[in-house]
Amino acid sequence: MLKISKVKNAYKEIEDILGTDFVSDKDFMKAAYSRNVDPAFPDRWADIIVKPETTEEVSEIVKIANKYKIHMVPRGGGADLVGGSVSEGGILLDLTRMNQIHEINVDDYYCIVGCGITWGSMLSELQKKGMTTGILGPGSGFAATIGGGLSNATVGFSSTKYGLVPDICLGVEVVLPNPDGTIIRTGAASNQYASPFCRYGVSPDFTGLFMGDVGIMGIKTKAFLRLFPDPPFKARRYYMLLKDDYSNVFKIGHKLRKEVGDGLNDLMVWPSILFQLVYAQTINKPSKRPKVTGPVFSVTLEATDQRILDVYLEKTEEIMMKDNVTRPFEWQEIDLDMVLSKDWKFTLKEEFNFFQKYISTAPPKSSCTTCHKVAISRLNESVQKGVQFNLTNQKEFPPKNPPYPVFASFLMFLPNGNCVIVGGLGGDNTDENRETTMNIWHKKIRHQVRYGAAHYWLGESISQSIVEAGAYTPEFMQFFKDMKKAVDPNFLLSPNKFHMYSYDHDYTEHLVKD
C-alpha cells in the first residue's frame, strides 16, 4: 500500500516536470521496456517510465526519486545483452530524447553530444564534415547510444586503432543520484571557464568514475568526445588460415601491429564455422562449394594518402603470405552478391549490419554473451580453455544448445596487448530453461574471470559473476562501495549489479567455488 502511494506521488510530481507525454505507467509501455537482448532474463517491469529531454529535468527526477526512495535505472538504446538497462519496479529513465549534437569543434577536434544520441545519427553528421570519433561504436550502433557505449566500455568497429569508447571520452556531464540531483562536469570542462578540449589537468580523472560503470555511479547526460579527421583512403583485405589452428593468430596480429602501425584500423579474426553457416543461407551461391580451411583475418587499413595506403597494403600482403600459413580470401567464394575486396568501400551501414547479419546466423538465440578481453599472447590458450570448458560442462548447458561456443573464436584486436574473444551461449525466454541457462552462463563467466579475463559490458549477469568468482579483494570492494556511497547515499541507482543490494549487504555470501 505504502509503495503504491509512493509511486503514485512520485508519478504526479514527475508529470508536473515533464508533462503528460513523457512519463508513463501504462502496461503496454512497461512491457515494451521490460527486456534487453538477453533471453535468459525474465521480463521485468518498471513502475514508471520517463523520457527527460534536458539535464535539469533528469536532476529533478533524481530529487523526486530520493524524496520517495525509489530506485532508478538509466537506459539508452536498450541494446544491452546482459540485463543492464531494465528495471524491476522503480523508475526507468529512457534518455533517447537527449539526442542533440551541441557542438562539433573541427578546430579543436572535439564534439559535445547528448548521451541519448545514437552512433548512427552522430557519425552521419560527423561524416559530412570529414570527421570521426575513430571508434564507430558497437554492432548495435544504429540503435545504441553514446551513453550506453560509455557505460558499457564498448568495443566496436575501428577499436583496433582507436580503443574502447571511454578512450575517446574527454569528459562527461553527469547527474549524481544524490538527494540534490547534483550536476557536475568532468575533464577540462570541470574548469567552468574552459571548453572540454582535453581530459586531464584540472582535477583527478573523475571521468573514469563513470566509464564502464553500467550506470551505477551517475546518469550521464552529455559527452565530450575526441574527434579525428577521417582518413579518406581505406581498404580491406581478407586472408584465410590454411589450417583451423589459432596458434599463428597471435604472431600475425602482433606483426601487423608492429609493422603496419597506425595504418591498421581494424583487425578481426572470424571462425571458419561462420563461413559454413553463411554459405548454407546464401541465395546466390557459387557453383563450386567453398573450401574453408580455417579462420579468416579481416584487415581494414586507412591512410591520409593513397600512396601511404599502398605501402600499408603491400606490407600487409607480405606479412600475411610469409611462411604459407594463410591465403587471400574473397567473400565471393561464399556469396556471389558480395563485392570483391579491391572494390570494397567503407559504409556505416555495412559496419552496423555486420553483427545482425553474421552473428545471428547461429546458433539461434545465441545471446547469453560472454565476450571478454584477454592479453594477446594468451589468445590461443584462452580459446582452448573456452572449448574445454564447454566440453567438460556439456551436461549443464540448456537443452538444444550446441555444446561448443560458436563464435568463441571470433577475435577483435584492440590497442596494446588486448584482444576480445567474442562468444556466448543460447538462451530461451522460457521459465523452464531460465535457471539452467543462468547457472551455466554465470559459471562460464566465472571460469573466464579466473583465467584472468577482463570483460567490458558488465550489466547484471557479468558484474555479478565477477563478484561470485572472488575477483575483487575485500579492500577493493570496500573502496568501491565507499565511492558509490559518496555519489548515491540512498543507494538508488541501478541496484543488483555487482551483487550490491545495499551498503550493508555482505557480498561474500555470493562467492562461488567451482
Measured in whole angstroms, how far is the alpha carbon of residue 455 from the centre of its chain? 10
String of contacts with ligand FAD for each residue 189-228, x by CB under 6 A:
-------------------------xx---xx--------
**Angstrom distance (rounded) from CA 468 to CA 461:** 10
State the residue number with the nearest CB to ligand FAD. Answer: 148
Question: Could you say which of 50, 95, 131, 211 contacts ligand FAD (CB under 6 A)?
Answer: 95
Is residue 149 a contact residue for ligand FAD (CB under 6 A)?
Answer: yes
Candidate segments 23-31, 81-89, 191-199, 317-325, binder of ligand FAD by CB under 6 A = 81-89
CB of 9 or CB of 496, closer to ligand FAD: 496
| Using rule CB under 6 A, residue 138 touches ligand FAD | yes
Find the helix or strand (DSSP H, E) in which 223 lies.
strand 219-226
What whole-number distance in Å separates Cα of residue 340 and Cα of residue 328? 11
> Is 388 near ligand FAD (CB under 6 A)?
no
Is 84 a binding residue for ligand FAD by CB under 6 A? The answer is: yes
CA distance 75 to 55: 15
- Taking CB under 6 A as the binding criterion, the range among 39-47, 224-232, 246-254, 455-463 that sits at the site for ligand FAD is 455-463
Q: Helices in 51-181 by DSSP H: which ranges?
A: 55-68, 119-128, 146-151, 159-162
Q: How far is the CB of 399 from ligand FAD (least distance, A)?
A: 24
Residue matched to cell numbers 544504429: 142
C-alpha cell at 180: 540534490
From the number of C-beta atoms within 10 Å of its C-beta (0-12, 13-18, 19+), residue 19 rates as: exposed
Query: What's the one-letter identity of residue 424?
Result: G
Q: Which residues pair with 91 in a beta bridge?
A: 48, 72
**Can you read off the three cell numbers belonging to residue 197?**
578540449
What's the longest Cα–Cα distance across the chain? 73
Binding piece for ligand FAD, criterion CB under 6 A, among 132-140, 269-277, 440-448, 506-514: 132-140
61 binding ligand FAD? (CB under 6 A): no
User: Which one among 14, 46, 65, 73 touches ligand FAD, defined by CB under 6 A?
Assistant: 73
Closest CA to 127 of 145, 146, 149, 104: 104
To ligand FAD, the closest distance from the beta carbon of 196 in angstroms equals: 17
> Residue 273 phi/psi, 5° resolution?
-60, -30
Among residues 39, 52, 76, 177, the one that binds ligand FAD under rule CB under 6 A: 76
The nearer residue to ligand FAD, 76 or 294, going by C-beta atoms, is: 76
What three-state secondary structure class fits 34? coil
Binding residue for ligand FAD (CB under 6 A) from 39, 120, 156, 424? 156
Binding mask 319-358 for ligand FAD (x = CB under 6 A): ------------------------------------xx--
Which of 208, 218, 135, 212 is CA-nearest to residue 170? 208
Q: Which one among 39, 90, 120, 147 touches ligand FAD, defined by CB under 6 A?
A: 147
Is 80 a residue that touches ligand FAD (CB under 6 A)?
yes
* 52 is an interface residue for ligand FAD by CB under 6 A: no
- Which residues, numbered 472-511, are part of the site for ligand FAD (CB under 6 A)? 494
Question: How many of the chain's residues bind ligand FAD (CB under 6 A)?
Answer: 38
CB of 10 to ligand FAD, least distance (A): 19
The beta-carbon contacts of 434-439 under 8 Å, at least 24 apart in sequence, are 434/40, 434/41, 434/42, 436/396, 436/397, 436/398, 436/399, 437/39, 437/40, 437/368, 437/398, 437/401, 438/40, 439/396
Q: Which of 124-132, 288-296, 456-464, 474-482 is the region at the interface with ligand FAD (rule: CB under 6 A)?
A: 456-464
Q: Which helix (H) or strand (E) holds 111?
A: strand 110-114
Binding footprint of ligand FAD on the chain (CB under 6 A): 36-37, 73-81, 84-85, 95, 115, 138-140, 144-145, 147-149, 151-152, 154-156, 214-215, 219-220, 355-356, 456-457, 459, 494
